[in-house]
Amino acid sequence: MPNQPAKRRNFFATSDGIFVASALLMTASAVVALTASVVLAKVTFQDHATELLSQYAAYIFSILLAMASLFALIAGAVRCGVYGRAGAPAPQSANDSGDVLTQLQIISDRMLLSDTAKRIAYRQEDVNALREAIADDIKRKDFDAALVLVQEMSQTFGYREESEEFREQIMAARSTVIDARLTVLLQRLDQIIAAHDFPQALSDALKIMRIYPDQVRVQNLDQIVNQAQETYKHQIERDFLAAAQKDDVDGAIALLTELDAFLTEREAEPFREVARGVIGKKRDNLGVQFKMAVHDKEWLKSIRVGEQIIKEFPNTRMAEEVRERLDQLRERAAGQQAAQQAR
């Protein structure tokens, strides 16, 4: 079937035509308003109400024309934004529609080819950007991010050999950093063990093992701490027994106090008799010191020794006797100090 000629558009159906119509309506509105003003100027009104009604009647048509011009202006602007200045496209034949679809398909194919061409054209730039990003991550010691980019280089771009070289570089740098950090952490752990703070040492050891589970240097770190604690405990036991045999009561008491933090009830059983003997000697020694201080009228020393007896052996007969005399000793000490100051 032969192509039918497209219908001729009405000028006022286009955006330009609507703008022209708007201008004509605005001009007509101005002419009507001017005419009404001239007529009203020549008429004499009897009262103000009649004058006001006449003005409304004279200008109403001008106002309507101005509103129509404004609506036409808005409609023209909308049509121009949607269809352009020529207005809505003229109807096309079936063959024209087929040609349009063909052209659209060609444009789509070209766009797809363009994306593929872009990927090929910028492939080397993308790889170079990956190399720079990996090097920057290694420099910033962000090794996890660098490994992700290495995986991208291998899988997306196929640079497997270069990716493996980067991976070895990353792992070497990471190992160096981890070794330095581990050295600091292990030195601090050694200091804590040397201070015999074994609960803190065990806590730090477990934390290090959680953070670096694949490092050989931290394997069995908790067992090392426990072994150090056992060695130190056995050393205290030997020192305590030696002090008790030498009648070093004060040294034995100090060691016994420290040993108490490490021994369980079952482990403490072999030391009970020795401990009782040491404690008894300590109590007896304090009793002798207290009596000698009172006898020599060293009131301040007797008060200090008496308070120690009450603190360390509060439920003994000796402590009860000291309590009964402590107030009297304080009075005598105060009197002795006053007499010394008066001299």
Residue type, 107: I
SS3 content of the chain, % helix, strand, coil (to 5): 85, 0, 15
* pLDDT tens, residue by residue, 263-295: 766 766 666 677 777 777 777 777 888 888 887
Residue 191, Cβ density class (10 Å: 0-12 exposed, 13-18 middle, ≥19 buried): exposed
For the chain, 343 residues long, give each residue's pLDDT as a single digit of tens: 444 454 555 666 676 777 777 788 788 878 887 887 877 777 776 677 777 777 777 778 778 888 887 887 787 777 666 665 555 555 555 555 566 667 666 666 655 555 555 566 667 788 888 888 988 988 888 888 888 998 888 888 788 888 889 899 888 888 888 889 999 999 999 999 999 899 999 999 999 999 888 888 898 999 999 999 989 888 888 887 787 777 777 777 777 777 777 776 676 666 667 777 777 777 777 788 888 888 788 888 888 888 888 887 788 788 888 888 888 888 888 887 777 777 6
Residue 182, Cβ density class (10 Å: 0-12 exposed, 13-18 middle, ≥19 buried): middle
CA distance 180 to 169: 17
Check residue 303 and give its pLDDT. Answer: 86
Check residue 204 and give its pLDDT. Answer: 94
Q: Provide long-range contacts, Cβ within 8 A and 24+ apart, for 25-33.
A: 25/65, 25/66, 25/68, 25/69, 25/72, 26/65, 26/66, 26/69, 28/65, 29/62, 29/63, 29/65, 29/66, 29/69, 30/62, 32/61, 32/62, 32/65, 33/59, 33/62
248 neighbors 224 (Cβ within 8 angstroms): no
pTM of the model: 0.45
Q: What angle do CA 35, 41, 45 make, to 5 degrees?
A: 125
Check residue 110 and give its pLDDT. Answer: 55
Mention every residue, 6+ apart, whose C-beta is less than 8 A from residue 157: 123, 126, 127, 130
CA distance 85 to 270: 109
Residue type, 286: L
Query: What region does 265 belong to: left with phi over 0, alpha with psi -120 to 50, or beta?
Result: alpha
253 neighbors 282 (Cβ within 8 angstroms): yes
